[in-house]
């Protein structure tokens, strides 16, 4: 009898353990199948999202150097997704924003945020940044003179004549001890905010794109990075002084991708920004511009 009870208990225990094992196996299989289904769905959704952009054409306004050149590298990345990028070049700082505002182009890439904010305020436009791409150090370049340490009394220094870039130029001159700018002037600084001018330098305000062409007519010129590149200047070899690329200015004056407000979350625009901040673009920037353009991503 005891043997019969023991055998019955053993059989029951065996069945119980087998049932637990079967339940665990079934649960694991179900979980695995669910995870696989979820993964497949996610992959399908991603593929569908990319597929949805195939055949899309984007038109972007840009300065010729380095912006249009960088965009042409991003164009190769976008082509892999079936997106066609058309780059429209402008040589000034006004038209790219106007054609973005009126919808002639989908985006522009040529400016930093302080300039964008100033432009919106002065022109009643509604443009916003999608994100930062690169930073171009401002440089002081030699003209008729080449020695900042022994600058002549009454020397002429040319600077950009637009609000934010002029302020930036004045701050760079102040960092070299050539002038002193009123505390708090910030991005609104003008020649009227110069509080000390020990060398009696004359500040000549010139349209930014014209600075490289007039540098030989002045003692020194403070030139935007892209215009310096276009003129064949090397930041590393030709500039007498530059903004510190590791400074706060690198973030403040980072060049951004810009669209009309409301379009910043557009999938095609997001794909463009992803292409502009890809490893392929970063490698291109680092190997091409001799420190005149610095990736900010």
Q: What's the pLDDT at 259?
A: 98
**pLDDT by residue, tens only, the chain of 297 residues:** 433 334 433 343 333 333 333 333 334 444 444 444 444 444 334 344 455 899 999 999 999 999 999 999 999 999 999 999 999 999 999 999 999 999 999 999 999 998 999 999 999 999 999 999 999 889 999 999 999 999 999 999 999 998 878 998 999 999 999 999 999 998 789 999 999 999 999 999 999 999 999 999 999 999 988 899 889 998 888 999 998 766 667 788 899 999 999 999 999 999 999 999 999 999 999 999 988 898 999
Contact between 66 and 226 under an 8 Å Cβ cutoff? The reply is yes
Q: List beta partners, residue 44.
A: none
- Tokens in use for 158? 């040319």
Q: What is the pLDDT of residues 233-269, one digit of tens each?
A: 988 889 999 987 666 677 888 999 999 999 999 999 9
- Residues contacting 60, CB < 8 A, separation 6+: 71, 85, 86, 87, 88, 105, 106, 107, 108, 109, 272
Please give the sequence-ordered ranges of beta strands (E in DSSP) within the chain, or none if there are none. Answer: 57-62, 84-89, 107-112, 127-135, 139-142, 156-160, 180-181, 194-196, 202-206, 220-223, 241-242, 255-260, 294-295
The whole-number pLDDT of residue 4 equals 36
- pLDDT at site 51: 57
**Residue 12: CB atoms within 10 Å:** 10
Q: Is 58 within 8 Å of 263 (Cβ atoms)? A: no
| pTM to 2 decimal places | 0.66
- Cα 49 to the chain's mean position, in Å? 24
Residue 165 and residue 92 in contact, taking contact as beta carbons nearer than 8 Å: no
HSE-CB of 290 using CA atoms within 13 angstroms: 12
Residues in CB range of 40: below 8 A, 6 or more apart: none
Q: And the tokens for 124?
A: 């009643």
CA 128 vs. chain centroid, Å, equals: 13
pLDDT at 247: 67
Coil vs helix vs strand at 80 = coil
DSSP state of 66: I
By DSSP bridging, strand 194-196 and strand 180-181 are antiparallel
Question: pLDDT tens-digit profile of 154-176?
Answer: 999 999 998 878 998 999 999 99
CB neighbour list of residue 194: distance below 8 Å, 6 or more residues apart: 170, 179, 180, 181, 182, 203
For 17-20, the CB contacts below 8 A with 24+ separation are none
- Contact between 64 and 37 (Cβ < 8 Å): no
DSSP state letter for 152: P
pLDDT attached to residue 178: 97
Q: How far apart are CA 148 and CA 178, in angstroms?
A: 8
Is omega for the bond preceding 66 within 30 degrees of 0, making it cis?
yes
Structure confidence at residue 139 (pLDDT): 94
β-strand partners of 58: 85
Q: Find all residues with CB under 8 Å of 21, minimum gap 6, and list them.
A: none
């Amino acid at each position: 009898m005891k043997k019969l009870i023991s055998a019955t208990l053993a059989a029951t225990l065996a069945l119980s353990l087998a049932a637990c094992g079967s339940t665990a196996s079934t649960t694991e299989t179900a979980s695995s199948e669910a995870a696989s289904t979820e993964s497949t769905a996610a992959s399908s959704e991603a593929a569908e999202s990319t597929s949805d952009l195939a055949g899309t054409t984007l038109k972007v306004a840009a300065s010729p150097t380095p912006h249009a050149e960088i965009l042409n590298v991003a164009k190769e990345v976008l082509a892999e997704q079936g997106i066609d990028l058309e780059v429209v070049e402008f040589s000034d700082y006004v038209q790219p924003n106007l054609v973005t505002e009126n919808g002639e182009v989908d985006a522009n890439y040529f400016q930093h945020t302080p300039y964008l904010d100033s432009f919106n305020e002065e022109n009643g436009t509604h443009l916003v940044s999608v994100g930062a791409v690169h930073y171009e150090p401002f440089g002081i370049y030699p003209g008729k003179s080449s020695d900042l340490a022994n600058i002549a009394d009454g020397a002429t220094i040319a600077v950009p004549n637009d609000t934010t870039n002029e302020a930036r130029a004045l701050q760079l001159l102040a960092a070299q001890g050539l002038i002193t700018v009123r505390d708090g002037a910030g991005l609104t600084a003008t020649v009227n905010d110069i509080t000390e001018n020990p060398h009696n330098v004359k500040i000549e305000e010139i349209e930014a794109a014209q600075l490289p062409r007039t540098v030989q007519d002045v003692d020194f010129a403070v030139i935007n990075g892209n215009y310096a590149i276009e003129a064949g200047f090397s930041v590393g070899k030709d500039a007498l002084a530059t903004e510190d690329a590791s400074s706060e200015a690198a973030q403040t004056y980072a060049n951004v991708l810009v669209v009309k407000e409301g379009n910043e979350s557009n999938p095609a625009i997001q794909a463009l920004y992803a292409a502009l901040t890809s490893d392929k673009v970063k490698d291109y920037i680092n190997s091409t511009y001799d420190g005149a353009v610095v990736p900010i991503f």
